[in-house]
Amino acid sequence: MSLSLPDELAHVHACPNRELLAQALAAAVADDLRAALAERGRAVLALSGGTTPVRFFQALAEQPLPWKQVAVTLVDERWVDETSARSNAALVRQHLMYGAAAVASFLPLYRAYGHGPEQALPELEEELAQLPLPLDVAVLGMGNDGHTASLFPGGDWLERALDPAGSARVLPMHAEAAGEPRITLTLPVLAAARHLYLHIEGEHKAQVLQQALAAEAGPPIATVLRAARTPVQIYWCP
C-alpha cells in the first residue's frame, strides 16, 4: 500500500526498506540540527524508544556533527532503571551515544527515587526548563493503538497531557497498554518542535495512521499531528 496524507498535516517520505529509511531519516535530522547550530550555537533533540529506531540511532551517530553542542533527551520513558532492557535511555546510550556522538549531553527522564514518576515531576520540569526550548527536532514513533510518546488511549493523565493550553512540560502516564508507569513530554512541547518527525515501519502502521487521521476524534497520534506547528515529516517503509 502507499501512505497518503493531507499536505497541510504531513509530508510522507517513503523508502523501500528499513536500512535506507534509517539513513534518510538520519540525514534529514542531522541537517536540521546543523541549521539550528548555525543559527543558535546549540541544538536540542528529543528521541523515542522501542525497537524501531535502533537503525536510525546508529545512522545518526555516524553523521558528522559537532555533538558537544547537541543536547539529547527523550520524548518519553518507561519508569524503569537503565539496567532494564525496556529502558529508552539505555537504548539511546547504547545505539547513539558512542564514538563522536558520545560527547553530546543527555537528559534522561527516569529518576531512581520514589515510587513512581509523579514524585519526579518537579525535578524534571526544572531540568527541561534549562534546555533551550522549543525542541529543534523531535522524532516520534507510533503504536498499533495510535499512541505516540506515552500518550496512550485511556491513559489516566491523557486529557491533561493533550491540553494545548497546558503549562506542564512533562507528565506521568498509567495505562493498561503501557505496562510500566510512564513519563512523557506533553502536547504543547511536542507540537512546538521546530521539526517534528514520525518514524514508522510496515503496512499495518501506515493503515493505523491513515485511519487515525480519518477519524473525527482519532487516537493521540492524530491530535499531535494536527497540533504541530509545521507539517510533520513522516518517514516510512513497507
Q: Dump pLDDT digits (tens) for 164-188.
A: 999 999 999 999 999 999 999 999 9
**Residue 148: strand pairing partners:** 151
The answer to the question of residue 32 being in a domain is: yes
pLDDT one-digit tens code per residue, 57-80: 999 999 999 999 999 999 999 999
Rounded-to-10 torsion of CA 226, 227, 233, 234: -50
In the predicted model, what is the mean pLDDT of the chain?
96
Identify the domain containing residue 21 by its residue range.
10-236
The predicted model gives 37-61 an average pLDDT of 97
User: How many domains, the chain?
Assistant: 1
The answer to the question of residue 5 being in a domain is: no
Q: Is residue 189 predicted with pLDDT exceeding 90? A: yes
Confidence at residue 190, expressed as pLDDT on a 0 to 100 scale: 98
The answer to the question of residue 227 being in a domain is: yes
The answer to the question of residue 2 being in a domain is: no
Q: Is 0.95 topped by the overall pTM?
A: yes
The answer to the question of residue 198 being in a domain is: yes
Other C-beta atoms lying within 10 Å of the C-beta of residue 48: 25
The answer to the question of residue 44 being in a domain is: yes
The answer to the question of residue 48 being in a domain is: yes
The answer to the question of residue 3 being in a domain is: no
What CATH number did the domain enclosing 173 receive? 3.40.50.1360
